[in-house]
Amino acid sequence: MTKNRENDNACNFEVFNNFESFFDTSHDLFCIAGYDGYFKRINPAVSKLLEYSHEELFANPINSFVYKNDKEKTNTARNELKSLIPLFDFENRYVTKSGQVVWLLWTSIPVEDEQVIYAVAKNITHKKELEKERTLHLKQLTEINQSFKKLSYSTAHDLRSPVNNITSILELMDISEIKNEETLEFINILKATTDTLKENLNEHFKFLNDKNKNPDSQLEEITLSTTLNEVLASINSLIQNSQATISIDFSRIDQINFNKTYLKSIFLNLITNSIKYAQPNTLSTIAIRSKITNNGTQLIISDNGIGFDLDNVKDKVFGLHQTFNDHADSSGIGLYLVHNHVTNLGGQIMLESQLNMGSTFTITFKD
């Protein structure tokens, strides 16, 4: 009997030593606080984080170390603990001896018989800083989006008047007396281009005025070939002057569910970029085709232009105001818009490219 009691005492002593070691070496903050609002016991992690000695921490009320804006809610939480209500996931701030503010996440259990509270806290300061940074970024993005919306609205509104004037002038022109076929062709091209521009502006203006911009409500059945032909007609002069060659193959699929205004913008930006960034002394060749894969319907636009060095710019290609050459018309907006048009409706866009070997943009539409 005596031997068993000795074994039990030895076991209890070992358990106690293990607990002491665990308490002292933990990186989390372990505390035993009295109902009187003072620390009764703390582990070294508390002193290390708050930069006070054990003696200083024991000599002052716990609330004296709490950040001033959190004192009231901390007092409320402590009173709830005294009412035997455990505390889980409670956040508050403490001030270190050097004046730094740290965030702590507490779990606290009251023990009424002993008039103490057992508590453990994690330092979540880094997490809070990341949340603050994320909130700031979201605020900045919201402000940028609002600025772009205002700019788009203003631009669309201001352009409608001169476009309507051009349309009116063209309608008033009597072309029956014009015998020169080249002049007639130019007038017809100008009229077709103006009509397309007017239609695009009206669609854009309608979209900007849409108060219910649910992405799914923007989808409609679109014919790729028809939409592309409208875009090509609007930039016919650019294509002719550049002598660009455009091959089109929508034999695999010609109907998709997407937003027509977005699709026109995608075609317009990628085609004009291909022409704009053609290799010196080389005529631009552009291939546009559709494809059906296991991942969904794809639109693939390739060119033989100057391309990108993806090892250096792959994370920036679709960024706002990112430019990668000294072309006078480079604004860093076109690819940003293309990326947003695709991803806003749940699609994906990928780029394959090499310097002086052209580029291939693969757009996968959401099913």
pLDDT at 88: 93
**Ramachandran class of 279: left when φ > 0, alpha when ψ lies in -120 to 50, beta otherwise:** beta
pLDDT above 60: residue 87: yes
- Alpha helical stretches, state H, the chain: 2-25, 44-50, 54-59, 71-82, 125-172, 181-209, 224-234, 236-242, 260-276, 310-313, 334-344
Please name the residues in contact with 358: beta carbons below 8 A apart, sequence gap of 6 or more: 302, 303, 304, 305, 307
pLDDT at 210: 64
Mean pLDDT of 136-154: 77
Strands 359-364 and 296-303: antiparallel
pLDDT above 80: residue 331: no
**Counting every residue, how long is the chain?**
367
Q: Which of 308, 331, 307 is nearest to 321 (CA)?
A: 331
Residues 109-129 have pLDDT tens digits of: 999 999 999 999 999 999 999
Mean pLDDT of 12-26: 62
Residues 241-255 have pLDDT tens digits of: 899 999 999 999 999
pLDDT at 65: 96
- Distance between CA atoms of 195 and 62, rounded to whole angstroms? 74
Average pLDDT, the chain: 84
pLDDT at 11: 47
